[in-house]
Each structure stands twice: as C-alpha cells, then as structure tokens.
Amino acid sequence: MITKPQFDANAGTTTDNTGTDKYPWFALQVRSRHELCVADYLNGQGYEWFLPLYKSRKRWSDRIKEVESPLFPGYLFCRFNQHDRLPILKTPGVIQIVGFNRIPAVVQESEISALQTLMAAGVPNHPCPFLELGDKVRIESGPLRGLEGILMDFKGHHRLVLSVTLLQRSVAVEIDSALVTPVTTSHLSAEDKGNVRHRAVQLVV
C-alpha cells in the first residue's frame, strides 16, 4: 500500500546547482515492461526523464545472461509542469502520474539525486523492501560520498538503503560500514530497537 507523504500540491519549479529553474520530478506508473519505450518517447518529446537500472543474472534454457532491469518495475521519473500534464498522460504506455486526489505528488529532489549518484558510480545494487527502521548514516568517502541512507546488515554484508518515499520502494547498495558515520537515529523505543537489531548494523564511533 502507498501511504500519503507530505508534499507541496502547488510546487512550481526547483533550482539546480547552476541556479537554473527546473520543474520538479514526478513518478510515472507505466505498463509492465514498457519502461524503456516510455523513456524513449519522453526523450523524443524533449522531457528530462530518469529510469534507474540494475544488473541481474537470468537463466535461459541454455545459459545464464546478465541483463539490465528497472530498479522500480512499472515506474520511471520525469520532470514536467504539473499544470500542463496532458501530454504526459497521453504518452503511450503511461498509466498515471503517481499522486493523490488527482494531484501529482512531487518526488523529493534529494532522493532522485541520490539515485543518480548511485547509477553514475556503477556500484553493484539491487531492489529491496522499503525500510523506515534503523539508523540513518552518511557516506564520508568514496564515489558515493555525501549520500545518506539506512545502514542494514544482509547475510553478513553491509548495505546502504536508499529510498523513494513516494513509491515506498528502496534500493540497496553494498558498502563498507567503516566509510559511514551516523546522521540521526530513529525515535524507537528500546523494545522496538531490539526487534530490529538483527537487521540494523550497530555503529561504534
């Protein structure tokens, strides 16, 4: 179930690092396996889009092949003017713009930036369940320096979990816990902390 996040229904434009105004990011729900087709169409129409992919191994009848798949199947991200969204809705393969009460919901710029940094770094990653519990940390060095997420322990390996709140989806990337420092600790009771301790990596600084 997608829960309603806080967002500005009247969001207009955002300003990037160069001081240029841009429309905010929105999430588009698209038909299954049509993510790339929709992205190609939007590109041809001059829209700025983002489709994060990850590499996975799939078994065919006679071999195992490495393929690229969407991190968030059925979704991609696009910048556009929400007051002129009809061309987006008419895009072949687009089901709807993710939002509430027919109002598109803005995806946080910081979440998109974090995912773009992850894609550019080429660090192995994979989808994982959306997570809210655990300690929030920041990477202090390496190609992912500056990213913030939830540090978890998965099968003995450390993972940094980046989330897209609107979609209630997350992506996990393998990381050395020695490269991160705590940012904030979620407000959990001692009992709740104990319940998630088997998943959250405990940091000593």
- Statement to judge: residues 88 and 120 lie in one domain: no
Note whether 145 and 72 are within 8 A (CB). no
Q: How many C-beta atoms lie closer than 10 Å to residue 102's C-beta? A: 7
* Count of other CB atoms within 10 angstroms of residue 131: 17
164-188 pLDDT, tens per residue? Answer: 889 989 898 887 766 777 775 554 4
Q: What is the CATH number of the domain that holds 152?
A: 2.30.30.30
Q: Is the pLDDT of residue 194 over 80?
A: no
State residue 27's pLDDT score. Answer: 98
- Predicted confidence at residue 182, as pLDDT, reads 76
pLDDT in tens, 21-75: 789 999 999 999 999 999 999 999 999 999 999 988 887 777 888 889 999 999 9
pTM greater than the 0.75 cutoff: no
Q: Do both 157 and 176 map to the same domain?
A: yes
Give a yes or no: residue 7 inside a domain: no
The predicted structure's pLDDT at residue 127:
87
Mean pLDDT score across all residues of the chain = 78
Residue 96 lies in a domain: yes
Asked, for residue 150, whether it belongs to a domain, the answer is yes
Contacts of 47 (CB under 8 A, 6+ apart): 78, 79, 80, 88
CATH of the domain at 85: 3.30.70.940
Could you give the C-alpha distances from 17 to 22, 87, 109, 114, in angstroms and in order?
A: 11, 28, 12, 14
Asked, for residue 37, whether it belongs to a domain, the answer is: yes
Does one domain contain both 102 and 26? yes
